[in-house]
Structure 1
Amino acid sequence: MIHPRGHAYSSLLTTSHFLENPRRYSFVLSGPNLNISNIHTKNIRRATTDTTMRITLNIFNPQAGEQDSLLTLEIFPDMTLATLRESIQAESTVPPTSQHIYHNGRLISDDTQTMEQLQIVDGEMLAVHVRDMRGSTGVPEQARRPQPRRPAQNEQDPELIRLQILGQPALRQQLQSQHPELAAAVDNPARFAQIFHDSQNREQRERQERQREIERLNDDPFNVENQRKIEEMIRQERVMENLQNAMEHNPEVFGRVHMLYVDVEVNGHPVKAFVDSGAQATIMSPSCAEACGIMRLIDTRFAGVAHGVGTARIIGRVHSAQIKIGNLFLPCSFTVMEGRSVDLLLGLDMLKRHQATIDLARDKLIIQGEMIPFLGEAEIPKAEEEAAAQEPTLPGPDGTAIGQRTGAVVPPGQHQQQIPARPQAAQSAPSPAAAAAPAPSAPQAPPAAQSAPTTTNISPQAIESLISMGATREQAIQALQAAEGDPDVAAGLIFF
């Protein structure tokens, strides 16, 4: 043995001394008392016993028609990827050239890197996808089975995508919101590949059909109508592309946003109040006013018609009643209006008067320092869910449907009913410009004693009179219905 400084030492120097001081020597000369094989088979193995790691491999072999199998191996930090492949071959008979090893959804292929360099630690799970890269030459007859369709050069490999999804929980959650059917099959390789290819084929057929249609229209380039159709097809394609980009990069915009509700008490009666800073006035339904015992306080001189998305009849106004929000007892006025899907709506008049703050970060309504938590999704009245179920939808990508009002994405097979939106005041609170004008009229009886006016009670002369004054026929009919056929009152509702 030669020391780096040039001093000669006896060959009787023990191997353990070399192992304890490996950096002091540049090379070792073999001698009668130095057995190199003993170093590797005994001392080195004993020295690395403390660094042994155990990993689990999930082996998927579609060529053999087997389900995923698990294999546990002991490795060392300085073990190379090539050595790991040989260990896998010894345990599973899968040749190294057919092993595609994935770590955290990422393909690792550099055989010279060690486990430490690849950041593979104790307890890790690796995915091994078996694919024969050598062709069918020399393959045993029993292994020659019909192979699944291989992806083209410009086509994505579904198995690679599946393994990436398994290794990234965030990607799996995103797939769940965008393509629930594909996300449900992520643990089944065959089913996942089938759904993936079906989706790809469907998109390819649609593209080819659009291309053929464009070519057909281009056969007559001077036809103005054909050019309009081509322009519309290109526009629709850009719209769908924009939709796909939004679903990929901003999937949260397609979720249904639940409205803000708080628990209140009106005249001692508990009510779930809808907080709407876009509504001009605080509105209550007649049934809620009856339950709260304030129907007797309605001033019918403030009756009228609210114009928004459609129209709604205003019965009157309760000028002052006590409302309890949190631990606060506050005076509040209510506009009692028919056609509302909520019992009580806290509008801007109430919120500004008491300087309320809608704190979305804390999910609370703050009034005079009192914090009132907004209700959770399970506590929101069912009327909102029923209204959402009747929302009209548009067809989206991959068989999904998208709500026309909320933009919520509905998974395939769970499409909402294609019910046209019914114009009613419940869909929007009356704006300042659309608020009803007070109509001086005789005191009206409670709603229970009244019958809704119909078109048959309206004279055609009254309708024509309002139309001649500048109103549309629909506005004239609605105003006459609210005014119980009185053309003068109806004219005041429309023009004043």
Structure 2
Amino acid sequence: MQLTVSTHDDKVFTIEVDAGTDTGTLQAILEAETGLPVEQQAVFHNGKLLPSSGTLQAAQVQDNDLLMLQPQPAAHAQPQQTQQTQPMARNRDGTLQNPQAFLDSCLSNPAAVAQLPPNLRDAVSSGNIDSVQGVFRQLQREAEQRQMEAQLIRPGEDPMDLEVQARIAEYIRQKNVEENFEAAMEFNPEVFAQVTMLYVTMDVGTSQCLHNMTQMALVNLFCILTYAVNGNKMAAFIDSGAQSTIMSAKSADQCNLLRLMDTRYQGIAKGVGTSKILGRVHQAPLKVGSQHVSASITILEDDSMPFLFGLDMLRRYQCCIDLHKNVLRFGSISNAELPFLAEHELPAKLRRVSSDVAAGGVGEGSAPGPATLPHGSGAPGQPQSDCSVWLMTAFVQI
């Protein structure tokens, strides 16, 4: 008969057993499925605790019944057994922390092995640890799938209904975002650190002045080159005055990155004007020459600037803006450099941006608005946005 088991951490799975199976064998199967040692199991049926001895038939357990599995403290009289079975706990992906201990326990309990799912039973019989781990990983995925269906598809609903499909699509999108976030936290935690803008100390004055005044100047360089983002080639605006690397929602959609956008990182980007921040992609694949790297990209609602490579990624890859060779060098990537694009190589939209800035224009189609500057970074007595335009215009006119 088939039984459905629900655990304390909301996992749901099914098992196949005979009506004459004793509760001890049932608990051994549950241990194999969940990693929870037998002595720490409390199995409930219809709100009553199953007896530690006797058959399922005697306990009035019938086909398609639901069992609740809850953990309980191990008995003080069995400290040695607890120590031996504890390593059989599951990893996050469903694999066993101590697969050899599981194989040893199966060899000592042939009756329990006979009740295991066929694919797991075959893997145990082969004695191959990789095969056993692979089956447990598959069982975990199947359990998560059943749990997802139980949460997203309510009783009596048609799985093909548009509303149900929308819930499933959103669940999958959120899962992709969480996996992308966890991968970034594990392999690239530096992308979550605050970026300090580039400042240098300069003496400001004229030869007629009797004294010089020391000021903090924001180093702000702008160039344009071509990147391949997730297989899509696009021109990237290199902006050392922008705190973050940004991309418009339209460009992110073209690069198939919106499915990875973490909407918890919403806000407002301020620079020359403002733009709404829709979210953040923690790890977006980039291709620099022949090398594949990743970048953390903030997604903006405004589409005036398709892709801007900011100071956060310039610092991360130790980039050098070499205006003598007209290339962007990546110090942390061996022999990686990208040439800056000539004006005739720019997309028409970006050529209009360059023309407007060179003419001193600050209206629509001018320099990129989303460049994020920290509070108080403008020149004394000037609003932050005016300072950004002034710096940008001065650089282009030079």
Task: Please confirm whether the aligned pair reaches a TM-score higher than 0.5, indicating the same fold.
Answer: no
Give TM-score, length-normalised by structure 2. Answer: 0.36
Determine which structure has greater relative contact order: mean sequence separation of CA pairs < 8 Å that are 6+ residues apart, divided by chain length: 2
In our comparison, the structure showing a higher alpha carbon Rg is 1
- Would you tell me which structure has more strand in proportion to its own residues? 2
Give TM-score, length-normalised by structure 1. Answer: 0.29
